[in-house]
Homo-oligomer: A and B are copies of this chain.
Amino acid sequence: MKKQPETHQPPFSGITTFSRLPHTTSVGDQEFDLAVLGIPFDGLVTNRPGARFGPNAIRQSSIRCRNYSQQMEVGVYERLRAIDVGDVTVNPFDYLETFREIENRVTELQQRGAAVVSLGGDHSILLPILRATNRKYPKLTMIQFDAHTDTSDEGWGQRFHHGTPVRRAIEEGLVQGSRIFQIGIRGSSGSARYNDFANDAGIHILNMEAFHDAKLRGEFVKTLHEVAGSDPCYLTFDVDGIDPAFAPGTGTPVVGGLTSFEALSMMRSFRGLKFIGGDVVEVAPAYDCSDITSLLAATLVFEIAALIAIGRTG
């Protein structure tokens, strides 16, 4: 397996994999550094469904993600042996089975030494990803772009919907609250106590007003680097962290969010951290306009890969 070929085919041509990477579902004994993994599951959303079509929409829009990130100043596929491993076998009617499949698949890939970047799917998939990741990386720092803290509790009797993965991850001890850094939080909620769990858990929250305060933003980044140090980092990116003008194709949009540039620029400030994986979730193509959301999501996946490349190879 080699780096992404400078294929002679034009970008709109050929069976579509992420960034035109080689594809295999049976990884066998291959060695590789980066696995792009689709998780087309949206069974736990509270508002607009449709993120099950996210992985293939992101792949389709990724055809122009090349090798060299001008944003991160790194040649991603020069540094990483990367592969598109296809999709987890989800069960649209059974989240428990789906969670097991996700956990097993991520574990298998991580055991081969690969960093895994997942294409969602709704944000509930974060929990089984973290369950797998915790085995290999028990001391994880997690950065989260999101409009919501995802520390909500049971809704309509369901403990594991897409508004609760961060709460469950903390409860299950998969990641400490004080090692979680959230960016883009905003909007309305049932009560002022909505964020009590997050605050009690010590989550670092950079809400939108704070994000636009250069001093607060600088301190947040500084603390992040202090906390993470050289320990493994994971980046979970809910596209609703971005403003609906830039990412209309999502299930629970909230106005007043980040611009694409602000998110990319923030990610650039994470260079030097040791990323071991990530995900981009909540892309619902039925609500997209001219594929701008899936293009954004593909770019975010690519830039996460760039951070991984920097973290692995300096």
Binding site for B on A (CB under 8 A): 6, 8-17, 23, 38, 40, 42-50, 52-53, 55-56, 59-60, 64-71, 73, 75, 78, 84, 86-87, 89-94, 97, 155-158, 161, 185-192, 194, 207-209, 212, 243-246, 248-249, 252-257, 259-261, 264-265, 268, 286-290, 292, 295-296, 299, 302
Nearest CB on B from A76, distance (A): 8
A-B complex: 5 closest residue pairs judged by Cβ atoms: A49-B49, A93-B158, A286-B286, A248-B290, A245-B246
Q: Contact between B68 and A190 (Cβ–Cβ < 8 Å)?
A: yes
| A45 vs chain B, min Cβ distance (A) | 8
Further contacts, 8 of them, CB under 8 A, given A67-B191, A94-B157, A244-B292: A10-B156, A11-B47, A50-B50, A94-B158, A209-B268, A244-B295, A255-B292, A257-B261
Residues of chain B with a CB closer than 8 A to A55's CB: 13
Q: Which residues of B contact A299 (CB under 8 A)?
A: 187-188, 254-256
A13 touching B38 by the CB < 8 A rule?
A: yes
Chain B residue at minimal CB-CB distance from A258: B261
Report yes or no: B12 in contact with A52, Cβ–Cβ below 8 A.
yes
The chain B residue with its CB closest to the CB of A23 is: B15
Q: Are A253 and B286 in contact (CB under 8 A)?
A: no
Would you give the shortest CB distance from A292 to chain B, in whole angstroms?
4
Contact partners of A42 in chain B: CB under 8 A: 49
Contact of A246 among B52, B94, B243 (CB under 8 A): B243
Scoring A71, A73, A86, A245 by chain B CB atoms within 10 A of each residue's CB, the highest score goes to A245
Quick one: closest B residue to A73, CB to CB? B192
Q: Which residues of B contact A302 (CB under 8 A)?
A: 188
Q: How far is the CA of A93 from the CA of B94 in the complex (A)?
A: 10
Q: Considering the chains assembled together, what is the distance between the CA atoms of A67 and B188 in angstroms?
A: 7
Please tell me which one of the listed residues B67, B93, B192, B207 contacts residue A156 in the complex, with CB atoms under 8 A apart.
B93
Chain B residues, Cβ within 8 Å of A254: 299
Contact present for B188 and A68 (CB under 8 Å) = yes
Give me 19 A-to-B residue pairs in the complex whose CB atoms sit less than 8 angstroms apart, sorted by A's number: A15-B86, A42-B49, A49-B49, A60-B60, A64-B252, A68-B189, A75-B191, A93-B158, A94-B156, A94-B157, A212-B261, A243-B261, A245-B259, A245-B292, A253-B292, A254-B299, A255-B264, A255-B295, A259-B259
Please report the C-alpha to C-alpha distance between residue A46 and residue B50 in the assembled complex, in whole angstroms. 12
- The distance in angstroms between the C-alpha atoms of A208 and B284, with both chains bound, is 28
